Structure 1
């Protein structure tokens, strides 16, 4: 087996890993946007309902045409928002994107593990693991909701500029016991008390 063949295989695994990282983050962004949309429409529904109720009380007390017209308009807007939420459920869509992201997280971590293990794995075993991951990924994509360009651009910004997937040694060290810390150099020995 030639060195260029090994590099081509590793390049393919790296490419797959990168695509899964982006797809995972894109589904997270879509879930966040759908959840924000749901919050907006729920608040709009509450506000319109409150204004419609206040208008109905004002019509009884004031009996003015302008209040009746405004209350009727608010009532139609309330109905429109309710009908929109009945036909389009941003909450369920957000959950579908969260589910897809959760499944993709596992695939992402499996690709990372494969890249880490690649130098030690026999080529046939590495090919088998790659093929398993591709099959698992295909099954996830079939059941996942569509994402859009805006979510992809947000994911790209978070991954490239905000470094969502990167950590400094100091950040990782915060979670580790002293014997596993790296920042400032790994300790040679841990003093026993």
Structure 2
């Protein structure tokens, strides 16, 4: 099993727990950033649809002609067309759909690393943990994490606040024991009665 100093398991465990916590926040922040961009993308799309329908039809011209003078009516129609052009340009410039996908991809990579850190924590908490193998796994995870962060798009303070709120106040990745037991097959439930199985 290799040599280890007293307390080395505790130090490895403390480091793995700290890194797990950081990855949990990063993962959730990227999920929230993807949600923010997705909502913006959908709003832009709806705005473009509504403006395109309004500016391309004779409906707007007829409606404006009923309530407004001809000169003002043509200004209103021109303004709606200008808004459509601006919305189209903004949608092409900001590319919220692409940004959404980049954050979702990053969140998926971070989820994998997060779950691997969780497995490392379980390994380190078990009796007879192979510390040299655990050190190697920690180093491998560090390399995976470095690659994930190196390719990660930036998140906003708003996404981080939403992640923090979800994790701390809403329990986004936690379960109460009864809820978790209901999600697991009966043979894996902790609250099961062995006499019933």
TM-score (norm 2): 0.88
- Moved segments of 4+, more than 6 Å: 59-63
Deviations 1:16-67 (A, max 9, x none): 0000000000000000000000011111111211221333455789871111
Q: 2:117 aligns with which of 76, 91, 111?
A: 111
Residue 65 of structure 2 contacts residue 73 of structure 2 at CA under 8 Å; is this kept in 1?
Answer: no
1:45 alignment partner, one of 48, 73, 90: 48
Q: Tell whether the 8 Å contact from 1:114 to 1:126 is kept in structure 2 after alignment.
A: yes
Cα contact 1:173–1:182 (8 A) shared by 2: yes
Report if aligned partners of 1:37, 1:90 keep a CA contact under 8 Å in 2. yes
Give secondary structure in 2 for the equivalent of 1:174. helix
Unaligned 5+ segments in structure 2 are: none
Matched, 1:8 2:11: yes
Greater Cα shift, 57-66 or 84-93: 57-66
Runs of 5+ in structure 1 lacking a partner? Answer: none
Note the 1:19-168 alignment, pairs <5 A: 19-53=22-56, 54-56=59-61, 64-118=70-124, 119=126, 120-168=128-176
Residues 64 and 76 of structure 2 are in contact (CA less than 8 Å); yes or no, is this contact kept in structure 1?
A: no
Normalised TM-score (structure 1)? 0.90
Choose between structure 1 and 2 for higher RCO, CA contacts under 8 A separated by at least 6 residues. 2
Between stretches 81-90 and 25-34, larger displacement belongs to: 81-90
**8 Å Cα contact 1:48/1:77 also seen in 2:** yes
CA distance in 1, matches of 2:14, 2:184: 31
Mapped to 1, the partners of 2:196 and 2:23 lie a distance apart of: 39
What value does the CA root-mean-square deviation take over the aligned residues?
1.9
Deviating more after overlay: 93-102 vs 173-182: 173-182
Going from structure 1 to structure 2, the CA distance change for 1:123 and 1:181 (only over 3 Å counts) comes to closer
Between the two proteins, the alignment pairs up a number of residues equal to 188
